[in-house]
Structure 1
């Protein structure tokens, strides 16, 4: 780790050296450009803003009062028309004209700026001379002394409060923190305390400088400029420490190790530090009267150097950024491809954004530097925050925590909405007055509405999905705990609850309704008139209804079957031609699993009669054949005893609704008495009870000496007739019957024998 940190420090020093070398080389190169270029536009380069103002005032002084009033009224009318008119009509000719006009203005401004190259090295001594002019002896030294004293006392006050508000990095808990909420709260608390200390520093330094030292206006401006630069730099330090956490690896948000976090932190601070102090130095030069094209050139050079440092930071740390954004996703997944492309996209976007700022600087007076800096900072951290929520969602899904996984995914959408709103606010796009804007404003409005719609729809869908999935899981767990297994039942079986049957249909219906609503809102947000779409959908739906009456009949019949609660998932039903256990229900059909394994798909519209074998209770009747001389009353007592014993059976006792009991003699046939017994049980359990009842009756009959009646054939042969008179075929049939040739053969043999005898 020491070697890694040493390497990081070397890279940071090298980055700092490259930054200042780049800035110095730019200054030297532009100062040695051929004077010929400067001579071509020397007069324009020396023209200052004060001279432009003087020319404008001289032009106005030559106008009469009436002309001035007309000019003012015309400008006010143009401003009012510009505020009240809606989006301009798309006209390629107007666009080309404006583009050509702007290109001409840019070309002219660029020529003026490059003509000011020869004056660039002189702005530093000129600014120093103007800053040190009109001072008493030692006045400049006194200013630097007072600023040093103010800064020093501010640091002392901050240092005095630091032990109270802050703890050293090694004093806090170092265990790995998995909870993103805890990480954000801890790092947010640290950031807040650092900002409070910074506020103490700024307050004390300001109070000391303003109260105890009497200085000139330009001294106060210089002091507050560099105090602001120091504040910006230190706020950046605090935010980077909270985000990268170079000394708190257990709380770090990105997937960096300590060396990687320290490298990203230091290179970021080099860029911010140079940019903050260089930009405020440029602003100070402007207040000292260093204006015109040379000041714009200096500002462009400072911005270009800062942007180059930022691009260098992005490109040099692209492997770290890619690892963090990918977050363990498969190498060929869309997320992995985005992670590989994002550093280059971000770098190119930063360069183009700075070019756009420079172009706006050349064309207009107002330049949104703050919006550009905010956009770059937002794009620097948003992918890492999205990757953080992505990792949380994956971790919660692995832990089967659906609620937290859904919250993590919703946080990603919320992040998208927050970014959209923040960028709109930074670029002065008011959502309440967007309808009066142009195409860019309408596009921003559409993006915000789309993001908000997706967030709300996603939140509703996740809440419904989680609730339904939890209820389904609870129903399935309760069903399994009761020992129900549809595969074990031949016919019947207790089905699931009615809500368990309807939950999947509710879930699918909500998904479809939300999808249609979201699509309609998105189309409306993009400016598409959805009224013709709805009317067309109605007509198409009517045509489909006439053309697919069978489909409509299936859907309507299924709705009424479900409303009537005719069947549920897991129940055994018979629809006439097929039968089986209900395994799945859709809008137009349901699927039956036969007890031998076959699957039947039955449209609702084809059902005429539906028989449900799984509702409430089922009666099973058993028949037993006993000889004619059997004591029926004794059999009844035996059945009653068997019924009591089956009620105490550990596996099937609780499945009885009415016990096993005798119904007496049901009929008398040729072979004995047919005694019938019955019991009432829960659906699907009757076959298991029947098996145990047969075993119990067999054992009880054997214990009480009662035999089951068997079919018998008695053949009577008269003694007067000789056996030789009986045909040989008859003898063979009788012998076969005696050898156990089967009931059917015995019957035929008895008939033949009787006929022959």
Structure 2
């Protein structure tokens, strides 16, 4: 809720600016010079000595003004503040007499009509505008009724579309009001003073009504203000909070624009600047009271467990300090304090409104429109910051004595403003690129049954994070160079020095350069992607992530290898397209080979029918034939084609099914046998045990090599 409080402080600041600028801009009329004084001036200019003195002064070099802040300048600054406050104190007793004089001026210049006649004319213009607004509302009521009936189907409407439609419905009648009241007044001929008096009054009414209507759309939405169960406004807050802030904005806008119009009327009546300042500061007290009441009664303060506390006192003191700074005439410091208070909250509110308006569906990855969201959010933030910086620069150039109008000062101010705009544009470009990349990554992480689409998603998951990092570096470097160039810094020597420094770094870090360049070529060749199992030399594992110079491989036993691209060498990718798995089984010499072939064919058909493993098999298990004649039996060769990564699981299931089939059909696996000459049974048993031990050791050795 603090976000919306900042809007009130911003409005108070605008009142401060409007009221403080008017006294400065008003100038008293000077008395015309007499003919005698003009003749004396001409005679002095004809004097040869005066001419020589003027020529010498023109030829002498002008002394450069000092821009250093010394104790003397601070003293002069303090004297100006005391003089300003003293003038306000002296102007307070003059307020009644100035207003009485203004009433006489109105009566004298507008055919004897006093302030009451001006008020009656103003009221008549307002009533004419209200009549035009009512007529427009009646004409458009039928189309709004049709639109309401069309929305009764229960479908949810985007908050941005709802707010835009309701904003048009509320602001279009105000446009009719403005054209009828202000347009009618401008179309007719009035006395000059009456024209100067009526224009700020009508503009104040129109602007106030526009601000109140916009606040209603943002905070309450199209539903009735009596419904407090839910809020359909663009700002993501509940209905009760929306009503609270809407009422405060209503009173704040009324006081603000009333003060603005009154200051304009006083300027038209040529009331003394000091008196105008006193009236403006008095109206500023009304804004201060509304702001303090908002701080203490806002829903966030009431909802806290311990109630109101130090935060409210600090904000109250800060608001009173801003009002005192305004009264003292320190406009530059006032605006710096206002910016420090309102900009963070205002930017957060803009972000929240953009996300609320363009939020996609929570259960649909990559839904919504991130480009439009970024353009609206960052564009609004950029507009706010740009206006703040430009206005602050204007105030500083007009008000501050630290700037003398020198060329260097002008270049610095222009460079800062241009740098801020460049950084904002760079931020918008980067945010758009990041949003598009992140949305593409979210969609690529969604699993799919299409192998081609899955391969494309894997490639995107591999390349887009690297592209995102490179874009961030490039955009940041270009923006910084442009900002430095705008500030007057010679960028060419920096680029040349960076090039020389880069060459030196390249010679000193050849391995790093090799890793980066190798990684670029690996990406161009599409050698591997995130999630694929690869092997390179002694390194093997599943690719988990990339950096600019290395790849992280997760071994199937758990360890993670961080391997620089320069040391990878040849890559064996085990996760592309398909895998052929081969194995051999030994059967006895008396086995029927054709019978075994038929059994294996049945096992292959059963594997294809399996609901879990069938979709993973490309070509089912087949017996290729006799591989060789071994020492103890016939070695039969088998093969199958599967999707990458699933061959081990399918082979284990095939082993189990082949064993069951052999057992049911009486096929015996080959095993070593020993025939010992002689009739000693113990010698034969000892020889068989020795052969079995040798075979077991051989199998253990082969198993260790395979692992």
Q: Is the TM-score greater than 0.5? A: yes
Aligned residue for 2:31, secondary structure, equals helix
Aligned residue for 1:590, secondary structure, equals strand
1:162 CA displacement:
1.0
1:197 CA displacement:
1.0
Deviation digits for residues 568-617 of structure 1 (CA, Å, limit 9, x no counterpart): 32222222222222222222211111122221121222234433333344
Equivalent residues in 2 for 1:174-185, closer than 5 Å: 179-185=159-165
Aligned counterpart, 2:283: 306
Aligned counterpart, 2:383: 418
Maintained 8 Å contact 1:322/1:343: no
Q: CA RMSD in A?
A: 5.3
Maintained 8 Å contact 1:737/1:746: no
**Alpha-carbon distance change, 483 to 224 in structure 1, aligned in 2, over 3 angstroms:** closer
Deviation digits for residues 283-322 of structure 1 (CA, Å, limit 9, x no counterpart): 3432xxx6xxxx2321221222133332333233235779
Aligned counterpart, 1:461: 430
Equivalent residues in 2 for 1:341-490, closer than 5 Å: 348-349=321-322, 352=325, 355-356=328-329, 383-384=345-346, 386-393=348-355, 396=359, 399=362, 403-404=368-369, 407-422=372-387, 441-478=410-447
Q: Please, which of 529, 539, 553 is the counterpart of residue 500 of structure 2?
A: 539
**Residues in 2 aligned to 1:338 and 1:517: alpha-carbon distance in whole angstroms:** 42
**Residues in 2 aligned to 1:654 and 1:626: alpha-carbon distance in whole angstroms:** 30
Q: Please, which of 259, 268, 273 is the counterpart of residue 296 of structure 1?
A: 273
**Residues in 2 aligned to 1:69 and 1:239: alpha-carbon distance in whole angstroms:** 64
**Residues in 1 aligned to 2:46 and 2:314: alpha-carbon distance in whole angstroms:** 57
**Alpha-carbon distance change, 345 to 469 in structure 1, aligned in 2, over 3 angstroms:** same
Correspondence 1:258 to 2:238: no
**Alpha-carbon distance change, 134 to 323 in structure 1, aligned in 2, over 3 angstroms:** closer
Correspondence 1:187 to 2:167: yes
Which structure carries more relative contact order (alpha carbon 8 Å, separation 6+)?
Answer: 2
Deviation digits for residues 595-651 of structure 1 (CA, Å, limit 9, x no counterpart): 222211212222344333333443322212211112223333433444445445444
Maintained 8 Å contact 1:594/1:600: yes
Deviation digits for residues 115-172 of structure 1 (CA, Å, limit 9, x no counterpart): 6766554334444445545999xx447x95586367437515632551433689x999
Maintained 8 Å contact 2:106/2:193: no
1:225 CA displacement:
0.2
1:243 CA displacement:
1.6
Correspondence 1:236 to 2:214: no
1:381 CA displacement:
9.9
Bigger Cα Rg: 1
Deviation digits for residues 405-461 of structure 1 (CA, Å, limit 9, x no counterpart): 66445434322432355457768969xxxxx97566545534443343333333333
**Alpha-carbon distance change, 643 to 452 in structure 1, aligned in 2, over 3 angstroms:** same
Maintained 8 Å contact 1:553/1:605: yes
Aligned residue for 2:489, secondary structure, equals coil
1:387 CA displacement:
0.6
Maintained 8 Å contact 2:628/2:636: yes
Maintained 8 Å contact 2:550/2:563: yes
Aligned counterpart, 2:66: 91
**Alpha-carbon distance change, 641 to 423 in structure 1, aligned in 2, over 3 angstroms:** closer
Q: Please, which of 496, 509, 523 is the counterpart of residue 548 of structure 1?
A: 509
**Alpha-carbon distance change, 146 to 648 in structure 1, aligned in 2, over 3 angstroms:** closer
Aligned counterpart, 1:5: none
**Residues in 2 aligned to 1:204 and 1:496: alpha-carbon distance in whole angstroms:** 64
Maintained 8 Å contact 1:616/1:683: yes
**Residues in 1 aligned to 2:367 and 2:233: alpha-carbon distance in whole angstroms:** 25
**Residues in 1 aligned to 2:343 and 2:512: alpha-carbon distance in whole angstroms:** 52
Maintained 8 Å contact 2:581/2:639: yes
Maintained 8 Å contact 2:616/2:646: yes
1:89 CA displacement:
7.3
Equivalent residues in 2 for 1:726-745, closer than 5 Å: 731=682, 743-744=692-693
Q: Please, which of 257, 260, 266 is the counterpart of residue 272 of structure 1?
A: 257
Q: Please, which of 498, 523, 533 is the counterpart of residue 572 of structure 1?
A: 533
Correspondence 1:285 to 2:265: no
Deviation digits for residues 497-539 of structure 1 (CA, Å, limit 9, x no counterpart): 4444222222222222222222222333344333333233223
1:666 CA displacement:
2.0
Aligned residue for 2:41, secondary structure, equals coil
Maintained 8 Å contact 2:133/2:174: no
TM-score, structure 1 length as denominator?
0.68
Maintained 8 Å contact 2:350/2:377: no
Deviation digits for residues 195-253 of structure 1 (CA, Å, limit 9, x no counterpart): 4213312344566885xxxxxx4xx5146504532431342133223225688554655
Aligned counterpart, 1:668: 629
Maintained 8 Å contact 2:136/2:173: no
**Alpha-carbon distance change, 699 to 463 in structure 1, aligned in 2, over 3 angstroms:** same
**Residues in 2 aligned to 1:253 and 1:382: alpha-carbon distance in whole angstroms:** 19
**Alpha-carbon distance change, 385 to 693 in structure 1, aligned in 2, over 3 angstroms:** closer
Maintained 8 Å contact 1:581/1:593: yes
Maintained 8 Å contact 1:617/1:680: yes
Tell which deviates more after alignment, 220-229 or 296-305: 220-229
Aligned counterpart, 1:623: 584
Aligned residue for 1:64, secondary structure, equals helix
1:659 CA displacement:
4.2
**Residues in 1 aligned to 2:312 and 2:453: alpha-carbon distance in whole angstroms:** 49
**Residues in 1 aligned to 2:134 and 2:286: alpha-carbon distance in whole angstroms:** 32
**Residues in 1 aligned to 2:598 and 2:160: alpha-carbon distance in whole angstroms:** 72
Aligned counterpart, 1:33: none
**Alpha-carbon distance change, 519 to 547 in structure 1, aligned in 2, over 3 angstroms:** same
1:713 CA displacement:
3.2
Aligned residue for 1:702, secondary structure, equals helix
Aligned residue for 1:477, secondary structure, equals coil
Aligned residue for 2:269, secondary structure, equals helix
Maintained 8 Å contact 1:275/1:306: no
Aligned residue for 1:624, secondary structure, equals strand
Aligned residue for 2:542, secondary structure, equals strand
1:397 CA displacement:
7.7
**Alpha-carbon distance change, 700 to 646 in structure 1, aligned in 2, over 3 angstroms:** same
Correspondence 1:155 to 2:127: yes
**Residues in 2 aligned to 1:698 and 1:605: alpha-carbon distance in whole angstroms:** 47
Aligned residue for 2:591, secondary structure, equals coil
Correspondence 1:687 to 2:648: yes
Deviation digits for residues 450-505 of structure 1 (CA, Å, limit 9, x no counterpart): 343333333333333333334333433245776999xxxxxxxx997444422222
Deviation digits for residues 267-296 of structure 1 (CA, Å, limit 9, x no counterpart): 43134324423x24423432xxx6xxxx23
